[in-house]
Chain A
Amino acid sequence: MLSGIKHLWQRNKFLLLAFVFAAIATVFFATRMIVLGIYWADPDHQNQPLEGWMTPRYVAYSYGLEPDEFELVLGIDPTAVSRVHLRDLLKEQGLTLSELQTRLDALVAARVGE
């Protein structure tokens, strides 16, 4: 085996190097996949914070809010607007993402308390 590898190194360095590189890449991707998968499965990390790219419908959907509940928070009916970014809506209303996040969290917490 060892003499075979030595022979290969003398005759075909490229093949051996490519194999080693591909094996390292395989381990690298496997490790990252497992680490990210563990993070994903942790219930503490399952609430996705609000981001500017989200749409009102998307926020309502991912937080499990009814349209009227969402309207309480942002003052608009999510079913009335399609494909609008949260960041544009917030700019119109003079709100920041973190302010909206606080309101949403309060709403969700209140529902859990019910």
Chain B
Amino acid sequence: MTDLLLSLVVDYGAALLFAVTFLSCLAIPMPSSLMMLAGGGFVASGDLALATAAGAAFLGAVTGDQTGFLIGRRAGLWLERKMTAQPKRAALHGKAIELTNRYGGPGVFLSRWLISPLGPYVNFAGGATGLNWARFTVWGAMGEAVWVIVYVGLGYTFADRIVELADILGNASGFLAAGAVTIGLGLWMRNAMRQAKEDRGEV
């Protein structure tokens, strides 16, 4: 499988990097990390040009983010019509939008590269909860630039060991994403337990 994927990078170069990063931003499972490392490796060996490889990966990722955001926005508008029909739900919806716009920017940035497995869902959620489009685009593009520079750069630096490196980095980003979800769920649990205590009148 790895053999086939790496052969495809040699055969299709930048066009493949564009397609893979585009699809990976829409929650379609893609070996984008391995492909970008390979892209960096083939830049080092002189088989691919740096500007086209990195540029294609970046453009694919940004276009994919925009598409995910638009899908989320469409779904969000439908949800909004349902929610705003009732005052209680409308308040909740307003709160979600306020929270997203307060913390959304850095969240979008970090979910591009550091906790990238969560990236596609942040695109959908950002669109659905009405995150400001310009803010999403600016933070997102900066994050994608970091993602591409880090992965293509590592591929370039460790060109002769890209397969093993992809395995390590895949687990590292799995660890960070699962860790972030665990912390999030932990905080939610703590609030739920506190709430339950208050309800029982123990506080």
Contact = CB atoms under 8 A, between A and B. Distances in A.
- The 8 A-B residue pairs with the shortest CB-CB distance, nearest first, are A62-B160, A29-B175, A29-B174, A4-B193, A25-B178, A33-B171, A61-B45, A53-B6
B161 interface: yes
Is chain B's interface secondary structure helix, strand, loop, or mixed overall?
Answer: helix
Interface size classification for chain A:
35 or more
Contact of B10 (A15, A45, A79, A83): A83
A89 B193 CA distance: 65
Nearest to B7: A53
B45 A57 contact: yes
B168 A26 contact: no
A43 to B, nearest CB: 12
Given A7-B193, A29-B178, A37-B168, A52 B3 contact: yes
Given A22-B182, A53-B3, A8 B45 contact: no
Interface of A: 4-5, 7-8, 11-12, 15-16, 18-19, 22-23, 25-26, 28-30, 32-33, 36-37, 39-40, 45-46, 48, 51-55, 57-58, 60-63, 79, 82-85
Interface stretch (B59-67, B78-86, B127-135, B184-192): B184-192
A25 B48 CA distance: 36
A51 B3 contact: yes
B47 to A, nearest CB: 5
B159 interface: yes
Contacts of B188: 15
Given A53-B3, A57-B46, A11 B160 contact: no
Q: Which range contains the number of B residues in contact with the other chain?
A: 35 or more
Nearest to B190: A4
A18 B10 contact: no
Contacts of A23: 182
Given A15-B185, A82-B47, A40 B161 contact: yes
Given A18-B185, A52-B7, A62-B45, A29 B192 contact: no
Contacts of B182: 19, 22-23, 25-26
Interface string B6-20: 110011010000000
Contacts of A79: 46
A32 B168 CA distance: 8
Contacts of A12: 192
B31 interface: no
A58 B45 CA distance: 5
10 contacts: A8-B189, A8-B196, A29-B172, A33-B172, A40-B161, A48-B160, A53-B10, A58-B42, A61-B159, A83-B11
A34 to B, nearest CB: 9
A100 B163 CA distance: 20
